[in-house]
Amino acid sequence: MHNTTAMLIELGAIILALGLLGRLAGRMGFSPVPLYLLAGLAFGHGGILPLSASEEFTATGAEIGVILLLLLLGLEYSASELVANLKTQYPSGAVDFVLNAVPGAVAALILGWGPVAAVALAGVTWISSSGVIAKVLGDLRRLGNRETPVVLGVLVIEDLAMALYLPILTALLAGVSLAGGAVTLLISLGTVGAVLYIALRHGRLISRAVSSDNAEMLLLVVLGLTLLVAGIAQELQVSAAVGAFLVGIAVSGEVAEGASNLLTPLRDLFAAVFFVFFGLSTDPADIPPVLVPALLLAVATALTKVATGWYAARRAGIQGAGRWRAGGTLVARGEFSIVIAGLAVGVEPRIGPLATAYVLILVIVGPLTARYTEPLARRLIRRSTASAPATAPADAGSEKSHAPV
């Protein structure tokens, strides 16, 4: 009885604090994600006032938050749009891997952690946080922007690549045979392929099966199906987030719109819990010793993510401001990076605190770069243009003819 009472008090305090922080962030005009994380850090392990009674419930809520974030992202797009995106964005996915995985691998080798830790830290620096970015896109009201499908294309390629990367990393960490690792990899690929095939070929049937005029029934069926598929995907060595995203892709039309309206408040609640839990599970005392290398790595890979988004948007034919918005949006790291670091601490214990500090920096900076990269780039370009020598009248006329209206 005492434990239940303490849990209710802690949960009530957490949710009330989230509401107040969200309102403060709204008045200041930026995403509440950094405030949620700092609140979690203040009241987690080693914080000002550790909250322990509600820890298990908060951990489960955090898992549901990531699943709902990816489900709602999937509901925005159809299966055909996803496939078209993957076909056009795969070169951007390759650039993303080279620019962002290599710095992590090099850093691990410089620190003397060995090749297996290098593979792990490469994953930490490579993968953006779909959860944080989904939340930021919603907060900044950019889901309808031209560059958003490009951002989502890069994120989907990363998330699907995790179906290959995580089994390989797990096999390397466990030291299993090549045959054992290959079997795990084939299971992961088969699962993703099967779900994609069902979404493409039978998406209408799925939408019809879950459709209901009763809002309560629609909510229960879509939420239940999502959690079921996410759990099965996790069991088959595929990310639960990927499973949830593919369920969202499979549901389309009016059903998707109705489900999105019903699930949005739930998503916002559990997503906030996810970000708080991330802070709660971090001990502030572990951060200072690794802060300098984490900060250097964060600066380097923030710039490479901006370059990735800019390149991907340019390939998609998006002009000027949209390229910089795409780049700034991709900076945040989060849930996958922490999962990877958690797997690797058995081989290299120092990777845990470094990854935590690194992710904490970029998960706070990410929402800020999403908002301010484009206006900052515009200001720098305007300043450099103003300081450039004057051109001939003919050139000036030619420049004006290409200027955006």
pLDDT at 133 over 80: yes
Alpha-carbon gap, residue 249 to 265, rounded angstroms = 20
**Tokens 């699962």 label which residue?**
191
pLDDT tens, 309-343?
Answer: 999 999 888 888 889 999 999 999 876 787 788 77
**Tokens 């490009």 label which residue?**
150
Alpha-carbon gap, residue 72 to 320, rounded angstroms = 28
Spacing of C-alpha 306 from chain mean position: 15
pLDDT at 9: 85
pLDDT tens, 190-246?
Answer: 777 777 777 777 777 888 888 888 888 888 998 998 899 888 877 776 667 777 877
pLDDT at 396: 39
Mean pLDDT, to the nearest integer, of 93-109? Answer: 94
> For residue 163, what pLDDT band results from cuts at 50, 70 and 90?
low
Tokens of 138: 């919603």
pLDDT at 52: 67
Q: Where are the domains of the chain?
A: 35-377
32: which DSSP letter?
Answer: S
| Higher-scoring residue by pLDDT: 375, 50 | 375
Q: For 35-377, CATH number?
A: 1.20.1530.20
Provide CB contacts within 8 A for 68, sequence distance 6+.
226, 244, 263, 266, 267, 270, 271
Q: Measuring CA to CA, which residue among 238, 275, 235, 283 is closest to residue 63?
A: 275
Alpha-carbon gap, residue 77 to 45, rounded angstroms = 39
Q: Which amino acid is at 246?
A: L
pLDDT at 359 over 60: yes
> For residue 88, what pLDDT band results from cuts at 50, 70 and 90?
confident
Q: Measuring CA to CA, which residue among 362, 328, 344, 300 is closest to residue 129?
A: 362
Alpha-carbon gap, residue 123 to 181, rounded angstroms = 18
pLDDT at 126 over 90: yes
pLDDT at 95 over 90: yes
Report the predicted TM-score, pTM, of the whole model to 2 decimal places: 0.71
pLDDT tens, 281-317?
Answer: 777 777 788 889 999 999 999 999 999 999 999 988 8
Provide CB contacts within 8 A for 161, sequence distance 6+.
93, 97
> For residue 389, what pLDDT band results from cuts at 50, 70 and 90?
low
Q: Can you spell out the DSSP letters for 217-247?
A: HHHHHHHHHHHHHHHHHHHTTS-HHHHHHHH
pLDDT at 177 over 70: no
